Amino acid sequence: MRRPALAIVAVLFCSGLAQAEPLNYNVVNLEASSSKDVSNDMASATLFVEINNNDPAQLADKVNQTLAAAIRVSKQYGTVQSAGTGYTTYPVYNNKTSKQDGWRGRGELRLTSRDFASLSKLLGQLQQPLSNGVPMQLAGIRYGVSDESRKAAEDGLITESIKAFRQRAELIQRGMDGAGWRTVNMNVNTQSFEPPMPRPMMMKAAMSADNPAPPPVEGGESKVSVTVSGSIQVQ
């Protein structure tokens, strides 16, 4: 009378082992990716002023006056935002005597905007003599995609990449004569490649001493890509 019961227990025990068996066969790693060019809708510009002086206090005062004047001008452009300022000083040495010959101060102003036309006009204005300050110089402009535009692009690319992942999984299943497949794990990675910052020498050429013109602000495009990688088990 006990043998059938023991047989049932043995069957259940073996079934439990089969369910708990790790995935160690017919597991294939694969990945799929998709990308698109997205128009840069954000520009970040850095301007700076450098002044030499033997008196550190006078040096700091002159740099701060220039930065304050630049900020006042920037506030006239409602579509341009200030990303902060910076100030550093370091000693200047005489090349012949190797002794300290004064101080050099550098102040920076960082601006961001989606309004390229207004930013270009403002940059041209800040490179002219400022009230109680000196003209600033343009260090560079960097372009990129705003968070909102990047997210919208990535959401669409994630859908495309997952579809491509599934298509490759089905291709592998057919190649292995499998009856089906299932996802073991999946990772989603996003990347963005922005254009390099233009050289300062090239940007200075946009302005002449006789007829200063705003530097051209052309955003270009950045490449946004999504890669879906993971493992599948072919059944």
What does the pLDDT read at residue 138? 95
The partner residues of 77 in beta bridges, in order of sequence, read: none
Closest of 45, 40, 49, 50 to residue 74, by C-alpha: 45
Condensed to tens digits (0 to 9), the pLDDT of residues 42-76 reads: 999 999 999 999 998 999 999 999 999 999 999 99
In a domain, 46, yes or no: yes
Residues 47 and 119 in one domain: yes
What does the pLDDT read at residue 150? 94
What does the pLDDT read at residue 47? 97
What does the pLDDT read at residue 118? 95
What does the pLDDT read at residue 226? 96
φ, ψ dihedrals at 61, nearest 5°: -65, -40
Domain final residue pick, 105, 121, 144: 144
Which CATH number fits the domain that encloses residue 106? 3.30.70.260
Condensed to tens digits (0 to 9), the pLDDT of residues 187-196 reads: 999 988 776 5
What does the pLDDT read at residue 132? 81
In a domain, 205, yes or no: no
Q: What number of other Cβ atoms are within 10 A of residue 203's Cβ?
A: 20
Question: Quick check: 41 and 145 in contact, CB under 8 A?
Answer: yes
Residues 137 and 175 in one domain: no
In a domain, 76, yes or no: yes
What does the pLDDT read at residue 197? 56
Residue recorded with tokens 């033997």: 54
Domain final residue pick, 144, 176, 206: 144
In a domain, 122, yes or no: yes
In a domain, 206, yes or no: no
Domain final residue pick, 111, 144, 177: 144
In a domain, 79, yes or no: yes
Residues 98 and 176 in one domain: no
Residues 27 and 61 in one domain: no
What does the pLDDT read at residue 79? 96
Residues 28 and 57 in one domain: no
Total of domains in the chain: 2
Q: Helix/strand/coil (H, E, C) string of the chain?
A: CCHHHHHHHHHHHHHHHHHHCCCCCCEEEEEEEEEEEEECCEEEEEEEEEEEECCHHHHHHHHHHHHHHHHHHHCCCCCEEEEEEEEEEEEEECCCCCCEEEEEEEEEEEEEECCHHHHHHHHHHHCCCCCCCCCCEEEEEEEECCHHHHHHHHHHHHHHHHHHHHHHHHHHHHHCCCCCEEEEEEEEEEEEECCCCCCHHHHHCCCCCCCCCCCCCCCCEEEEEEEEEEEEEEC
In a domain, 203, yes or no: no
What does the pLDDT read at residue 19? 55
Which CATH number fits the domain that encloses residue 153? 3.30.110
Q: Which residues of the chain have pLDDT under 70?
A: 1-23, 195-216
Q: pTM for this one? A: 0.70
In a domain, 2, yes or no: no
Residues 29 and 54 in one domain: no
Residues 75 and 106 in one domain: yes
Residues 135 and 173 in one domain: no
Residues 50 and 120 in one domain: yes
Residues 65 and 131 in one domain: yes
The partner residues of 190 in beta bridges, in order of sequence, read: 226
Domain coverage including residue 190 = 22-38+148-194+225-234
Residues 132 and 152 in one domain: no
What does the pLDDT read at residue 23? 63
Residues 117 and 173 in one domain: no
What does the pLDDT read at residue 212? 54
